[in-house]
């Protein structure tokens, strides 16, 4: 029977998908890296390579499917041959190595030779070869030929003749994952799969691919049943049959039966079957799905993988530890612990599997989440871990005093009936043995608030030792949640020594930035530095420090890390921002400033005593300024009526302007206002007489302090605003020690900025005065025309003036 014709164009589609999945740019140089078929002939050095290298006869031009090149040097990195049928793989291998690859080697180049057979719709196969100087060797993973195209970094390493052909798989870039997740999400939406069920479908497809080794029938009448059967078998093999029903696809969904083929194809292109053994791929895909499924898809926010790894490093997980996560989610913390055990002890895969069975304990009462966690364990080993569905507060299997390490991110309560974060931490500590270590990601509010939170912290210290607190970036859980968090490290069973110095750090850069809701790798990762400072007892102003706890028993790093001096460039940039705020305020309110009440302003220095400070450090805010609270008369703004007096509040916008009201107690400028609540520490300089609400601090320059120092002080306080929150307000004592670096050159430069800004502002006010004069003139003319007023002159005018003089 004749074989059905399959166009090689379909194989080209597969090639594009496989290259894109590994981060290659398939556009034509110089914008991209890929030359298709005859496109290489536009480059003379490549034209010479394939001259008389036809695969049919060694005459004419060779025509590989594609050549992937360095876009700058145009050096060939990959030479590729593709066939539309899987059973033509050997033919593709022969042509790409013996013909096209050999042509490159003879010309002095050393690209990888890549053979592809199949199409994007059906089964496919990939083989990759490297030239070792004598022959073509297959690239392998654990001794078996790899089935994916290497990314650029792996290709560069493999191409070197001295390197071995063994390769470990790499996870595609976040951008690639996001693109594929977007397509999968669209397919699931078109299949009428709701947000809550989508992670389940993806997890089931991944597990089925792994269990079946890719042997899933993709026809609509078989595919969903095959997925469920493979998942069920995987759970039975892992002795977790009770969870099998929690991870399945709806076989009656005919739309999904049609779309599932493409979903499976996408996951195959992402190399799921291999990568799950090396990486927490399920967790990463789950994170990526958050942006499409509304974030809190099944009631929980999952910890980014790099933060889980950091926590495992902070408590120094070893192969001897038993690790517990009472709220394990998809198992990110458990996998982080397992990876660290394997890395530090240089364990083989089989040894890691044994660890999974005996050293990892996880609980989650959400059936889908528990099933996903077990799936992760199956994908990483054999699934025989102590992960089970159950409530950590009530499950009889919950271990008491068993674990040596706890890693956790307690779910944030969003209902009145939820257990609070501190209850989860307390329960986790019950699972620890004496001297055990705990690392938990908790809300910043729990570290600083009074009331119940303070009582919990105090009770915690009575039984356990606080080792470290590391504040995480504000955007860590965005765009899914905006809570500021910190990693809390405790040691169980040892009451906190009164004189113990605790490690505090503030990580502003975790090695990622958000771009359209996707985490993109960026330079400047501070997590390794925080770990090093903790392990080596180092400190760095503005980043880390060691300190005894204060009388308020606050755990907030902002209370203990010493402030650092701003650099010259920071002073310059931040001062200009303060000045821009002042000028923008003037532009917006110029008409109000023309009629502003400026009569009898109060010298606040004389009207109210400064808040006494315990001590003042030279060169700081407290050294150059008296610090007072705002006016009690403005404590309640509700009774204020509209007027001509400027009132400043705790707003971070509009230079702190709350509005213009009927208020006589205005203060004589200039001074700095610092919100102690609201937009905390967004400091402004006030150059107009104004009232100031008592939720602000007022900084009044001491004698002989240059005017420019007000702006440097405002800039310095803004730089330290990360230290404050709703539970930790700005106070005179908390801002007094901020350093105010300045030189004569800096002061002169600031004065120059102020001079230029003042010229602009003066013009704005002059224009507003002219506009007011014009408005008054038009109103008087209108009155004259209406007859309500008249022009008086001559004897009548003299008589009126005389009467006024007599009066």
DSSP string, 26-78: -SPTTTSSEEEGGGGGGSHHHHHHTBT--SSSSSSB---SEEEE-TTT--EEE
Identify whether residues 261 and 344 lie together within a single domain: no
Least confidently predicted of 135-149, 203-217, 514-528, 622-636: 514-528
Final residue in a domain of this structure, among 120, 147, 169: 169
So what's the pLDDT on residue 359? 87
Examine residue 496 and state whether it is found in any structural domain, yes or no: yes
pLDDT digits (tens, 9 = 90+) for 279-324: 666 666 666 654 444 444 444 557 888 899 999 999 999 999 999 9
Identify whether residues 463 and 379 lie together within a single domain: yes
Upstream peptide bond of 479 is cis (omega within 30 degrees of 0) = yes
pLDDT digits (tens, 9 = 90+) for 93-148: 999 998 899 989 998 999 999 999 887 566 788 999 999 888 899 998 878 888 88
Which distant-in-sequence residues (6+ apart) come within 8 Å of 90 by Cβ?
none
Q: Taking residues 380-386, what's their average pLDDT?
A: 66
Higher per-residue pLDDT: 578 or 443: 578
Q: pTM for this structure?
A: 0.81
CB count within 10 Å of CB 397 equals 10
Final residue in a domain of this structure, among 713, 730, 750: 750
Rg (CA), the chain: 35
Examine residue 776 and state whether it is found in any structural domain, yes or no: no
Domain that holds residue 379: 298-562
Identify whether residues 678 and 745 lie together within a single domain: yes
Q: Provide the 3-class DSSP secondary structure of residue 698.
A: strand
Q: Taking residues 509-515, what's their average pLDDT?
A: 82
Final residue in a domain of this structure, among 244, 264, 297: 297
Identify whether residues 503 and 578 lie together within a single domain: no
Examine residue 662 and state whether it is found in any structural domain, yes or no: yes
Examine residue 206 and state whether it is found in any structural domain, yes or no: yes
Relative to beta strand 465-471, strand 502-506 is: parallel
Distance, in Å, from the CA atom of 70 to the CA atom of 109, rounded to the nearest integer, reads 12
- Which tokens sit at 433? 């043995």
Cα dihedral 320/324/330/333 (nearest 10): -60
Distance, in Å, from the CA atom of 509 to the CA atom of 522, rounded to the nearest integer, reads 9
Identify whether residues 306 and 259 lie together within a single domain: no
Distance, in Å, from the CA atom of 522 to the CA atom of 510, rounded to the nearest integer, reads 9
Examine residue 1 and state whether it is found in any structural domain, yes or no: no
pLDDT digits (tens, 9 = 90+) for 358-381: 889 999 888 888 888 888 788 776
Terminal-to-terminal C-alpha distance of the chain: 124
So what's the pLDDT on residue 627? 94
Examine residue 608 and state whether it is found in any structural domain, yes or no: yes
Identify whether residues 600 and 713 lie together within a single domain: yes
Least confidently predicted of 191-195, 319-323, 358-362, 473-477: 473-477
Identify whether residues 165 and 178 lie together within a single domain: no
Identify whether residues 553 and 423 lie together within a single domain: yes
Examine residue 801 and state whether it is found in any structural domain, yes or no: no
Examine residue 30 and state whether it is found in any structural domain, yes or no: yes
Identify whether residues 515 and 405 lie together within a single domain: yes
pLDDT category of residue 1 using cuts at 50, 70 and 90: very low
Judged against a pLDDT cut of 90, whether residue 459 lies above it is answered with yes
Identify whether residues 165 and 199 lie together within a single domain: no
Identify whether residues 577 and 664 lie together within a single domain: yes
So what's the pLDDT on residue 672? 98
Relative to beta strand 432-443, strand 386-389 is: unpaired
Would you call 755 exposed, middle or buried from its count of C-beta atoms within 10 A (0-12, 13-18, 19+)? exposed
CB count within 10 Å of CB 133 equals 8
Higher per-residue pLDDT: 785 or 45: 45
Q: How many domains does the chain have?
A: 4
Identify whether residues 162 and 190 lie together within a single domain: no
Distance, in Å, from the CA atom of 379 to the CA atom of 222, rounded to the nearest integer, reads 23
- Count, residues in the chain: 807
Q: Taking residues 368-396, what's their average pLDDT?
A: 79
DSSP conformation letters of 396-452: TT--SS-EEEEEE-PPPP-STTSPPHHHHHHHHHHTEEEEEEEEEEEETHHHH--TH
Higher per-residue pLDDT: 686 or 476: 686
The residues with which 647 forms a beta bridge, in sequence order, are 659, 691
């Amino acid at each position: 029977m004749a074989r059905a014709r399959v166009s090689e164009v379909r194989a080209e589609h597969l090639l594009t998908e496989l290259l894109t999945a590994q981060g290659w740019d398939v556009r034509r140089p110089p914008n991209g890296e890929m030359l298709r078929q005859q496109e290489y002939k536009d480059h003379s050095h490549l034209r010479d390579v394939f001259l008389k290298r036809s695969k049919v006869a060694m005459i004419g031009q060779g025509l590989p499917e594609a050549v992937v090149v360095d876009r700058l040097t145009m050096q060939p990195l990959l030479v590729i041959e593709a066939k539309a049928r899987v059973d033509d793989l050997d033919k593709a291998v022969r042509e790409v190595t013996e013909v096209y690859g050999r042509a490159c080697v003879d010309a002095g180049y050393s690209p990888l030779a890549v053979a592809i057979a199949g199409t994007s719709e059906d089964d496919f196969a990939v083989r990759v070869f490297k030239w070792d100087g004598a022959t073509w060797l297959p690239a392998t993973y654990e001794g078996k030929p790899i089935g994916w195209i290497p990314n650029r970094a792996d290709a560069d390493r493999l191409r070197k003749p001295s390197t071995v052909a063994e390769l470990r798989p790499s996870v595609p870039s976040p951008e690639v994952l996001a693109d594929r997740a977007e397509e999968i999400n669209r397919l699931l939406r078109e299949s009428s799969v709701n947000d809550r069920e989508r992670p389940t479908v993806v997890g089931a497809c991944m597990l089925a691919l792994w269990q079946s080794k890719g042997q899933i029938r993709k026809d609509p009448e078989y595919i969903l049943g095959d997925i469920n059967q493979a998942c069920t078998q995987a759970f039975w093999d892992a002795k977790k049959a009770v969870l099998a029903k929690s991870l399945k696809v709806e076989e009656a969904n005919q739309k999904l039966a049609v779309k599932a083929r493409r979903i499976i194809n996408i996951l195959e292109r992402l190399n799921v079957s291999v990568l799950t053994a090396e990486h927490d791929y399920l967790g990463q895909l789950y994170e990526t799905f958050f942006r499409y499924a509304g974030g809190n898809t099944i009631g929980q926010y999952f910890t980014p993988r790099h933060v889980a790894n950091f926590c495992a490093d902070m408590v120094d997980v070893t192969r001897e530890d038993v690790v517990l996560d009472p709220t394990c989610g998809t198992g990110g913390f458990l996998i982080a612990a397992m990876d660290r055990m394997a890395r530090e002890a240089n364990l083989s895969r089989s040894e890691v599997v044994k660890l999974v069975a005996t050293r990892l304990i996880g609980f989650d009462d959400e059936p889908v989440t528990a099933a996903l966690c077990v799936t992760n364990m199956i994908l990483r080993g054999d699934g025989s871990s102590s992960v089970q569905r159950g409530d950590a507060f009530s499950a009889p299997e919950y271990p008491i005093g068993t674990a040596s390490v706890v890693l956790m991110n307690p779910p944030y309560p969003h209902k009145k009936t939820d257990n609070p974060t501190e209850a989860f931490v307390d329960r986790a500590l019950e699972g620890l043995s004496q001297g055990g270590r705990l690392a938990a990601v908790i809300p910043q509010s729990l570290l600083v608030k009074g009331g119940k939170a303070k009582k919990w912290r105090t009770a915690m210290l009575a039984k356990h030792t606080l080792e470290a607190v590391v504040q995480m970036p504000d955007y860590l859980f965005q765009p899914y949640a905006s809570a500021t968090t910190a990693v809390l490290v405790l040691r169980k069973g040892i009451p906190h020594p009164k004189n113990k110095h605790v490690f505090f750090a503030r990580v502003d850069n975790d090695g990622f930035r958000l771009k359209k809701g996707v985490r993109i790798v960026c330079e400047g990762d501070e997590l390794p530095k925080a770990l090093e400072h903790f392990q080596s007892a180092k400190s760095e102003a503005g980043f880390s420090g060691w300190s005894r706890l204060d009388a308020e028993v606050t755990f907030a790093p902002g209370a203990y890390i010493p402030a650092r001096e701003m650099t010259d460039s920071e002073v310059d940039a931040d001062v200009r921002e303060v000045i821009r705020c002042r000028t923008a305020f003037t532009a917006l309110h110029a008409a109000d400033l023309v009629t502003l009440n400026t009569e009898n302003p109060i010298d606040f220095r004389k009207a109210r005593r400064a808040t006494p400070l315990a001590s003042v450090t030279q060169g700081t805010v407290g050294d150059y300024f008296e610090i007072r609270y705002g006016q009690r008369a403005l404590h309640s703004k509700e009774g204020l009526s509209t007027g001509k007096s400027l009132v400043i509040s705790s707003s971070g916008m509009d230079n702190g302007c709350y509005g213009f009201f009927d208020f006589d107690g205005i203060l004589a400028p200039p001074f700095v206002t610092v919100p102690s609540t609201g937009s905390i520490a967004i400091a402004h300089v006030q150059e107009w007489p104004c009232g100031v609400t008592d939720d602000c601090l007022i900084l009044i320059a001491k004698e002989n302090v240059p005017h420019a120092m007000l702006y440097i002080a405002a800039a310095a306080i803004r730089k330290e605003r990360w230290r404050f929150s709703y539970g930790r307000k700005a106070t005179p004592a908390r801002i007094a020690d901020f350093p105010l670096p300045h030189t004569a050159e800096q002061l002169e430069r600031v004065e120059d900025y102020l001079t230029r800004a003042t010229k602009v502002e003066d013009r704005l006010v002059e224009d507003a005065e002219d506009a007011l004069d014009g408005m008054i003139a038009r109103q008087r003319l209108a009155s004259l025309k209406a007859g309500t007023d008249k022009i008086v002159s001559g004897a009548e005018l003299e008589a009126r003036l005389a009467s006024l003089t007599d009066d």
